[in-house]
Structure 1
Amino acid sequence: MGDQPAFTLNIDQNKYLPIDGREVHAILTVASTGSAPVSEAPAEAAEVIIIDTSGSMSGSKIREARQAAATAVQTLRDGVYFAVVAGTEKATVVYPGGNAGLIRANPATRAEAERAISRLSAGGGTAIGQWLQLAGHLLTASPATIKHALLMTDGQNNEQDRVFAATLAGWSGKFVCDSLGVGDDWVPAELRKVADAMLGTFDFVRNQGDLPEFFRRLTQTSMSKTVAELSLRVWVPQTARLMFVKQVSPTLLDLTGKRTDVNPLTGDYPTGSWGQEEREYHICVEVPSAQIGQEIRAGWVKLVRPDTQEVLATGNVLAQWTDDLAQSTRINRKVAHYTGQAELHELIQDGLSARAMGDVDTATARLAKARQIATESGREDTARLLEKVVEVDPATGTARLRRNVDKADEIELDTGSVRTSRLRKDGS
């Protein structure tokens, strides 16, 4: 078989529970060297670049979008299958023409694609679900195993919520989609839904001139993937209940609802494609309490290739009951860190929602608490953005919402809240 990609799975937890303790928390750190198997060709990749060409994209925006799409095409490596799609109230393949599906990247096809992109103009509505639908059809018809879409929009989705939700549910797990919102007229909640369903990221391009650089970076990351799909396979004992499985770094992504049953005690959770990278996951298992001194395996985690069922790494989540308070009250640093990061995200989301609905008291309380956590956990970037939305009187500690908040600052706070900071090596 030759050398397999080297994956490691490390588990951080405090296994000791008080006598009535039932919740076991663990952080799984999964790392890959990203080296492709020697005896196999690297997994083939397919890329669909989706550009919003609706009416709101007129003027300088469409010029920057054309440049960004051309940059993405230039970044594709030779041999990758690709297509460029223009999105309005419908989706249209800009390149390659006809019913060719995807085409392999080489100097000639990249040049043709760039010429087709240079002719894009703005006009029409916005139907993001339609764009994803076309991308899905193109990607699933391709022989490539790593399937990725890059989507960029500056506006609000015109589709009905239930139609959009059905499209996302239908295509979830079929390909990964990273998306970008440009300007301040798009809705972060819509791209968050895309990211959650398609195991991708979403980001805010505050200055449209930065769009080509964002496209280059995301395409480069996509090109660096060498393993098509891995699953976290989690077993818990019959008497236990798996409460959640969440990716907590580099971004927050709840995988709990994406479970595929393997058997009654075991489920697979998709993690998408992998390159040379490290990600962290938080799992929580509820176990029945037991006798002092008793130790159980509360969870057995495997990193699995779903196509071959090959196990690449394994780890155990343990629970042991003790009457030693010092042992049972010690909180694992990584668990505490990522629990705090998740709370920060929730506070920001709740605070911004309350602010949008005119609930000043709730918004003030949530955002002030978020600002405190951001400062304490070293999230200076988030703390700075929170300062633009909520101010705290240093003398009295009283918080109040700022009156005139820049819409772009609010969007940056909203989108940035899913990114987490790593626990620093010194433990702070």
Structure 2
Amino acid sequence: MAYTAEAFQNEYLALGATEVDAIVTVTSTGAEGGRRTSGATEIIIVDCSGSMQAEGRMAAARHAAKAAVGCIDDGVHFAIIAGVSTAQQLFPDPGELAVASPQTRAEAVRAIDRLQANGGTAMGAWLKLAHRLFGLRPGDIAHAILLTDGENGEYGGYLESVLTEIGGSFTCDCRGVGTNWQVSELRKIANALLGTVDIVARPEDLATAFEQMMTAAMSKTSGDVQLKVWTPIKAVIRFVKQVEPQVVDLTGKRVEEGPRTGLYPLGAWGAESRDYHICVQVPAGMSGDEMLAARLSVMEGDTVLTQALVRAVWTGDAALSTRINRQVAHYTGQAELAEAIQAGIEARKHGDDHTATIKFGRAAQLAHQSGNKATEDLLSTVVDIEDAATGTVRLRRKIDAADEMALDTRSTKTVRVGRQQ
């Protein structure tokens, strides 16, 4: 597996400036022949609470789980969890993992036919069981799909405590079917477990969504990739964020590794490319002073896969220090776009139409400027965009709940500089 890392920045700082920004593009060609560098384990978690019986959601969930099982490669370990008021392992026998083959996939499909909607919603318990099962195969590329249609019913703070305990130990893609679940709740899970969150408004679309998630998971050939960041004395990391294909703040996930060095989890990788925004605070220098602000190493285990350097050069030449790096400016705008959308939705929920209009207007302007057509289209389901260039919008009187939730879940999806979706 070959990796490259390239840093984009304006390394020139004005006299007195102490903040260094860089966008680092990490690209992997994937393992040779698509072969995994380690084993893989997949767990499918299906909400079987009583509310799943409504609108044919349970039948659609069974169909989707079968579709996902059909996408699991031979030799991959897997299990299925039925999520109710407790976590119940549906397949294989409790405490075990199956090895994917034509026979075990057929057995799993028969087990899925037994899924019935009857019980409550206990996402913390579901995730704890998944964590225990993943623990049977340490070192595997570990991925889960979690489907729900409602809010978590566990006592306050339990889910958060579970996420603190298991955060980063596996990847979990979360999907909410219908509109009676909380985006913030699933986003909390996805952020802790380096996954994605999205709405599947119509039950009949679940199978396609599950197939897409499982196919993407099967394309991962390397697990537990990390970004190792070294900074010199008196330099401090302000933040590390993934900014493409979606915004994910990795700052709080740092694990210290010796003096001035920290590790940030990047999850599993296949043949793909992602962008990261690194911000470092450094002591101010004199004109002509240069320093290495950070050394970034992409790691798998103890192996350095590739490196990039972030530099700082102080200058009294305003023409140099005020030059805006295109990549840094673009992704700063994409992060602001996500924040503006989420603030607009929150303001609207609290009846603050004035703030909501301002925030959605700013979001429309940022989406238009960056060429993020997908987000601009989603915004147009919530507001009438009169002039995207100036951010002039009008709130719609009636908004479909599914449209608002789609805008919320997809607000963190970004586009690269000069590339439209």
Q: Is the 2:25–2:273 Cα contact (8 Å) retained in structure 1? A: yes
* Counterpart check, 1:128 vs 2:146: no
Matched position secondary structure for 1:121: coil
- C-alpha contact (below 8 Å) 1:168/1:197 kept by paired residues: yes
Match of residue 146, structure 2, among 151, 171, 176: 151
CA distance in 1, matches of 2:391, 2:155: 44
Query: Per-residue deviation at 1:144?
Result: 5.2
Could you tell me which of 10, 19, 25 is aligned with 2:15? 19
Matched, 1:424 2:418: yes
Q: 1:6 to 1:220 in 2, by over 3 A?
A: same
Give 1:169's match in structure 2, choosing from 161, 164, 172.
164
Matches of 1:338 and 1:239, distance apart in 2: 26
The structure 2 residue matched to 1:178, chosen from 144, 169, 173, is: 173
SS at 2:222's partner residue? coil
C-alpha separation in 1, matches of 2:395 and 2:4:
45
Alpha-carbon displacement from aligned partner over 1:233-287 (angstroms, at most 9, x marks no partner) = 1111111111000011111111100111112311010111111111111000011
> Cα RMSD between the aligned structures?
2.0
Instruction: Encode CA deviations 1:85-115: one digit per residue, 9 max, x unaligned.
Output: 1111111111113x35111011111000000
The question of 1:312 aligning with 2:305 is answered: yes
Contact preservation (8 Å) 2:363, 2:391: no
Q: Residue 163 of structure 2 aligns to a residue in which SS?
A: helix
- Structure 1 282/363 Cα, relative in aligned 2: closer, same or farther at 3 Å? same
CA distance in structure 2 between the partners assigned to 1:276 and 1:329 by the alignment:
36
CA pair 313-56 structure 1, distance change in 2 beyond 3 A: same
Q: 1:78 aligns with which of 60, 74, 77?
A: 74
Q: Displacement of 1:391 after TM fit?
A: 3.3
Match of 2:144, SS? strand
Change (3 A) 1:425 1:95: closer
Q: Percent identity?
A: 48
1:255 aligns with 250
Flag the 1:41–1:339 CA change in 2: closer, same or farther, 3 A.
Answer: closer
Query: In structure 2, how many angstroms separate the alpha carbons of the residues matched to 1:113 and 1:422?
Result: 40
Q: Following superposition of structure 1 onto structure 2, how do residues 147-226 of structure 1 map, counting pairs within 5 Å?
A: 147-226=142-221
Q: CA 1:360/1:200 → structure 2, altered by over 3 Å: closer, same or farther?
A: same
Q: 1:109 is matched with which residue?
A: 104
Task: Indicate which of 61, 67, 87 corresponds to 2:63.
Answer: 67
* Deviation, structure 1 residue 207: 2.3
Further displaced range: 296-305 or 372-381: 372-381
Aligned to 2:409: 415
Amino acid at match of 2:352: D
**What amino acid sits opposite 2:157 in the alignment?**
R
Structure 1 position 388, deviation (Å): 2.8
TM-score (norm 1): 0.94
- Considering fraction of residues, name the structure with more strand: 2
Unaligned runs of 5+ in 1: none
How many pairs align?
419
One-letter code aligned to 1:407: A
Q: Tell which deviates more after alignment, 243-252 or 140-149.
A: 140-149
1:149-181 superposed Cα distances (whole Å, 9 cap, x missing partner): 111111111123411100111111211111111
Given candidates 10, 30, 40, the residue that maps to 1:34 is 30
Quote the residue 2:39 is aligned against. Answer: 44
1:326 aligns with 2:319: yes
Letter in 2 for 1:334: Q
